[in-house]
């Protein structure tokens, strides 16, 4: 919604907004854009008398401002519908969908097109470091969008991605998530089937060729060309040295990728991005060269600081699969250095406890685990019991920070994983580490 607000501002509208809790990097982006922000959903905000209310999917019936909008009979629309009608019309939309990797892959594609001089518009659920913003309208035909399967609004229960009508689309992977709106994996696959139905016959799907859920979705009907990555008869990759990977298109070598990003998941994201860029008209060799200059995404394995030899990382991982790949990627990078994994199970799926049986295995490669138990409705200690004494559980944030700082030693890697602000824990950790490292003074 913050990205949509930025696009609307550039399009010439006066834009204001409200939310219950806004935190960096979106809060700083909105401030830089000059977008006025009100904290909370007070009904008194109707005094603004806007021409249109654009409603995000966190707003539900019972919200005082929404109730006032309905009572007044004001015009309102969902964010995805407003975007489709006011920004995407006439664009060649390239959508990136899937349970994991959407933000990073979207950012890679946007950067490749930018580096090729195509000046794309984009809307991404994170802030690509190469751009410094999560969204821009763009003056050229191409528009890259992160296409989420979450529902659109309380009055439109379709997935957001069905609004975007892409010509090119990436399907990274499909897993069960968003337990607050989907009953099971089959329900999610149905939404992806609806998404596939919106892509024209002259369009193209770039899909993970090793994902059985995607195979099931395509088997229900596909009317577009399909290109696969992650398999030998599609786009594939082989390591040829530290930080150097050879990329193949159907067995034909097309270029060497040299970069510092970690993890097998990012290599798969890169394959999808190169394939998508080729479909958009960028030569694969040029796309691979552009990826060497890709700087990543804020809150995706972002190093927030190092104090007295202790590094503090920030990552958005909030699903066991993402947690496992994030920890594994950091392990590949730091070798035998200790990893202190800090987790806030905050997403609706995690809070419901539906992934609790997979949680301990996802953290197995960490040396110490610290879990924030913020009134979770399931037994965290039992879920993490297989990790033994390596796991510490705290329900108070200050005590959690204290326990981490007491454990941290020079050379340690503190990996914080949450899909929220986590109470500013990164700054708290760095400040506490600095205070511990400061020399004692006295008379």
Domain boundaries defined on the chain: 2-79, 90-291, 302-436
| CATH superfamily, domain at 2-79 | NAD(P)-binding Rossmann-like Domain (3.40.50.720)
| Tokens 């229900």 belong to residue | 220
Closest CA to 165 of 138, 137, 202, 133: 202
* Contacts for 42 with CB less than 8 Å, ≥ 6 apart: 64, 65
For residue 443, what pLDDT is reported?
Answer: 41
For residue 109, what pLDDT is reported?
Answer: 98
Number of Cβ atoms within 10 Å of the Cβ of 311: 20
Q: Do domains 2-79 and 302-436 have the same CATH topology?
A: no
For residue 347, what pLDDT is reported?
Answer: 77
Query: Both tokens of residue 323?
Result: 């947690």
Do residues 391 and 371 touch, judged by C-beta distance below 8 A?
A: yes
For residue 297, what pLDDT is reported?
Answer: 85
> Please, what sign has the CA dihedral across residues 56, 60, 61, 67?
negative
For residue 442, what pLDDT is reported?
Answer: 47
* Contacts for 71 with CB less than 8 Å, ≥ 6 apart: none
Question: In the chain, which residues have pLDDT < 70?
Answer: 440-443
For the stretch 132-184, pLDDT in tens is 889 999 889 999 999 999 999 999 999 999 999 999 999 999 988 887 788 89
Query: In angstroms, rounded to a whole number, what is the distance separating the alpha carbons of residues 413 and 365?
Result: 12
Q: Judging by beta carbons within 10 Å of its beta carbon (0-12, 13-18, 19+), is residue 90 exposed, middle or buried?
A: exposed
Beta-bridged to residue 156, according to DSSP, are 153
Give CATH for domain 90-291: 3.40.1190.10
Do residues 304 and 406 touch, judged by C-beta distance below 8 A?
A: no
* Contacts for 105 with CB less than 8 Å, ≥ 6 apart: 96, 98, 170, 172, 269, 272, 273, 276
Burial per residue of 193-232, b for 16 or more beta-carbon CB atoms within 10 angstroms, e otherwise: bbbbebbeeebbbbbbbebebbeebbeeebebeebbbbee
Give CATH for domain 302-436: 3.90.190.20
For residue 415, what pLDDT is reported?
Answer: 96
For residue 441, what pLDDT is reported?
Answer: 44
């Amino acid at each position: 919604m913050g990205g949509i607000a930025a696009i609307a501002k550039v399009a010439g509208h006066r834009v204001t907004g409200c939310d219950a809790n806004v935190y960096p990097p979106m809060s700083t982006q909105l401030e830089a854009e000059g977008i006025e922000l009100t904290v909370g959903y007070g009904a008194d905000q109707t005094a603004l008398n806007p021409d249109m209310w654009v409603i995000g999917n966190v707003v539900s019936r019972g919200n005082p401002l929404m109730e006032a909008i309905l009572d007044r009979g004001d015009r309102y629309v969902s964010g995805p519908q407003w975007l489709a009608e006011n920004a995407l019309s006439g664009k060649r939309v390239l959508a990136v969908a899937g349970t994991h990797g959407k933000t990073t892959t979207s950012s890679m594609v946007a950067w490749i097109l930018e580096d090729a001089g195509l000046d794309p518009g984009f809307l991404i659920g994170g802030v690509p470091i190469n751009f410094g913003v999560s969204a821009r309208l763009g003056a050229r035909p191409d528009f890259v969008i992160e296409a989420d399967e979450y529902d659109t609004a309380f009055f439109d229960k379709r997935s957001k991605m069905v609004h975007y009508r892409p010509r090119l689309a990436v399907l990274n992977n499909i897993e069960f998530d968003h337990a607050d709106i989907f009953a099971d994996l089959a329900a999610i696959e149905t939404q992806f089937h609806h998404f596939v139905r919106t892509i024209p016959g002259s369009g193209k799907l770039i899909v993970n060729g090793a994902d059985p859920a995607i195979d099931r979705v395509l088997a229900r009907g596909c009317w577009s060309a399909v290109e696969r990555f992650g398999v030998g008869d599609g786009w594939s990759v082989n390591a040829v040295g530290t930080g150097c990977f050879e990329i193949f298109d159907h067995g034909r070598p097309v270029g060497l990728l040299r970069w510092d990003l970690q993890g097998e998941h990012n290599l798969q994201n890169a394959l999808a991005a190169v394939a998508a860029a080729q479909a958009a008209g960028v030569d694969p060799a040029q796309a691979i060269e552009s990826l060497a200059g890709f700087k990543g995404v804020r809150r995706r394995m972002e190093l927030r600081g190092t104090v007295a030899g202790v590094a503090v990382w920030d990552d958005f991982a909030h699903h066991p699969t993402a947690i496992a790949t994030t920890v594994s990627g950091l392990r590949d990078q730091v070798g035998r250095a200790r990893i202190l994994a800090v987790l806030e199970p905050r997403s609706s799926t995690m809070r419901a406890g539906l992934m609790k049986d997979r949680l301990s295995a996802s953290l197995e490669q960490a040396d110490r685990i610290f879990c924030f138990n913020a009134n979770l409705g399931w037994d965290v200690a039992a879920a993490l019991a297989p990790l033994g004494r390596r796991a510490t559980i705290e329900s108070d944030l200050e005590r959690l920070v204290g326990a981490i700082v007491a454990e941290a030693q020079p050379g340690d890697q503190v990996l914080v994983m949450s899909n929220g602000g986590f109470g500013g824990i990164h700054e708290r950790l760095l400040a506490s580490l600095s205070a511990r490292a400061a020399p004692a003074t006295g008379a």
